[in-house]
Structure 1
């Protein structure tokens, strides 16, 4: 069963229009059209008796489920259910746990997540905004229906006992206590003499006709309106961001002014506008690159999350301790290393082989072959990855070719091998073309002289081609390592990090960058995600520095 909910931002200046749009989306005709075309749960109660809906086994089945189901609350805690539930499904499907064990683990994980969930203070509502209060006597009647402008608004029924619960939204009391609800019906005790209801959904400055019927007899009628103005929360304080951006701009102006004065004094340039020309590029680089990076470093030392972003507090190295002590850190770091080394090695090795083959061989149609080999890189990667994902589905091309029905992506090892193979397929063309360009620059007379001395084939490749390609291969491999280490889209689109077999841990195909995405945008822990990002940056910085020192990369380029 799927559910749909509508919410209106507290910041909205058009709440009435937004509510009317939500009501239109929830109307009988729109919901029926949406349900029939998309096979999703129709949310309008009148459709329960619609003949077309009843005759459809899927849609009528949805309605049967609602009779025994509990409406899902549209809260942050509700959105947390999907991650542990998905892991429970994977565990049961992979048979590493029984259904009962998997669901028990999911329930425990959800409780732990809810317990640590940060909650913002509720914004105080404007008393009387979009509400009208009515009060009427029961006169020992058993049922009451409240109509607003001819539409049923609230149902109240007489009942002995204390069954039901308080669900919120409308408020109806017996003068002292809130009336309990069973479903959408308010329950009132036989001893109650007066019912007071605060009716919501009223349009400000519009007169509403409110009528209360008891067993089809009018017992209360009034015309009323609310004139209470909407109170919108103040927007977040952006002055620190504006101050930082202003400081960056002023610093660059001062720096460029000093550089211009110094260069003119030393006679380094005669151009009056040279520094002016480079200013836009430097400004864009500072605002779009350096400032976000520095801000990310700052967030790593705070408790920033989706509830407290903009109101975070400094907590020192707590986020880093949480990263290093988290379950699965070593596993995801190890797979990231395997993923990167295997991919870069394959990109360089296969790319070098193909480039050398097309450069040295005397086959016809080299341009056509290069064009064909370039296609995987020319096609947008997200399209290629989605095609590969479809091919490896149980009903995909690979299973049709093999005559099997294997879910390749549900097996941890199989999924890891597949995402690596797909990324190799995507990355080889770029390396091949880059190395081809380097091969074109090698002098042909060097090989001619080597042939005269009896050096050809493998020996020529080993002692002539490889040493002369060093200046190209070293920076290419370094860039390839950094790109692949942070390759997000292949993992995200192919497996979304899954299969997820362990609660609260990275998926089996998650690499560091994809897990950071989960931490930031699914768990909402921006501070922890920033700490992960800082660690990734330090890993790449340390590797790059060591790699350049070890290989003398800068000297090779020079």
Structure 2
């Protein structure tokens, strides 16, 4: 009877001391912001993947935090072995997309779109080494603190020792001042041409009344020539530059490259068809 009691006591102690689950949550310390790829109301993060993980939770807050309960869960990235039946993110939804690589690199040739479930939750394969994710839906001109927690099993509230921050502040980039030299040059050429022509005609006019008529008509004719020929001279100047509708004022001289391209056989054959 005593042996049975000892056995029951030993069994009860094992039951009490044995953890109910083997769940574990660990913060991913090698996570960081990718500022060159962050955009409007979005911040891109990247981190190194860990082994034996079921999912990654991304927490954020407008203040620095020491526990996951002090922050807000932004996103989950699931980890799955079998990805054969899943669909991938595409370029149409890169704003909220996720990427991964399996060779330990963040390079363009290594990173590829992750998979997703029916709800749009990103899923990466279990052999992933690097993860890149876009955090969207953030407020503008706000500084956020982030952390990535790797979860294996049940989610737990854990202490956070490593957070990284990023700002969604939008900087205004003023375009370079417009180069007005072509404008002044065109107007100067028109002014010199009209003035020279009127001076020559008035000097050859013997009738003083007619000379006075040149003087009266000169301002109106000069203005008419400027309005008429300025676009022509300006366009002629731009034809020797690499100017486009999105690069006005920031063009460079390319001389006859545009004419060579226009009169090339490929362009002419496509126009004549």
Taking structure 2 as the reference length, the TM-score comes to 0.48
Q: Max radius of gyration: which structure?
A: 2
Compare relative contact order (CA 8 Å, sep 6+) and give the higher one, 1 or 2: 2
Higher helix share: 1
